[in-house]
Amino acid sequence: MTRLRLAVVGFGRLGRACATALRDCHDLDLAGVVRHGEPIALSPPLEHTAVAGHLRELKNVDAALICVPAEQVLGVAREILQQRVAVVECAILEARALEAHYVALDVAARHHHVAAVVGAGWDPGVLQLMRRLFEVLIPCGHTEAGVHPGVSLHHSAVESIPGVAGALVCERRTVDRRIQHYVYVKLDERTSIRDVERAITADPLYAGEETFVFPVPDLAAVEAGGSGVLLRRYGTGSAGAHQSLLLEARFDVATFAAHVMLDAARKLPQLKPGAHAYTLGP
């Protein structure tokens, strides 16, 4: 099977994350990096990567990962599509702006007979797919979504529970003003998360309030900040028993987006000319 050769266009946090991820791929090759200004050698571990001021200067490029600011994506994508090179992008746009962006890329891609994948990132991208899945599983209900930075976390008496080596806690209010507690615990090897959950929910501090407990291997990584997301879907109860779904995640957005962009690039050979919204699966 021929390995796709991908160029990374733009070299901010996202571009570096894409280039770094490509180094570890067994089925994709890094053709080089395109960045404005005079080409400068990259720092390790990318010091042997080709660097160019224009995509045309790189050899045998099958597709380009567009990693420039959102307001520049459409112009850069059109220029690359004119060279009959497929593109993958993840511009952070919403509602009508995203729809107009999709239509414009579709027109350009069809005109030049190549494929483009739109919204291949975390948001837009995977987060919307997860939200849609929650809505399919619980069709009657409402969804809450929010971002919560690590700086809101604090240490608590949870650390005194037997088997808990360390703990961090944060609180938030729902749209109907109810308090929810999110507890991150590092456990001893022989400790059951269920036993810790029972001990926490029996504590008067948490009794009667929604409390979610997450075992983590490294509290320092959680406390360091980065980005997090909460996605919660509540059922209305019309279908019988109360239903709810929770997605809790803490991650680096650029790294997640890079992996999604590489997944989208793998799909390019099977796509027809035009713009395609990113989807999971084949």
> How confident is residue 151, by pLDDT bands cut at 50, 70 and 90?
very low
Please state the separation of Cα 202 from the chain's center in Å. 35
pTM over 0.95: no
Closest CA to 263 of 282, 276, 250: 282
Give per-residue pLDDT as tens, 121-131: 887 788 888 88
Indicate whether 169 pLDDT > 70.
Answer: yes
Give per-residue pLDDT as tens, 184-222: 888 988 888 989 988 888 888 787 788 888 888 877 766
Domains of the chain: 4-119+254-277 (3.40.50.720), 126-251 (3.30.360.10)
What is the bridge-based pairing of β-strands 28-34 and 4-9? parallel
Predicted pLDDT of residue 130: 86
Q: Strand, coil or helix: what is 56? A: helix
Indicate whether 62 pLDDT > 80.
Answer: yes
Half-sphere exposure of 143 (CA within 13 A, CB side): 17
C-alpha triplet 152, 144, 225: angle, nearest 5°: 25
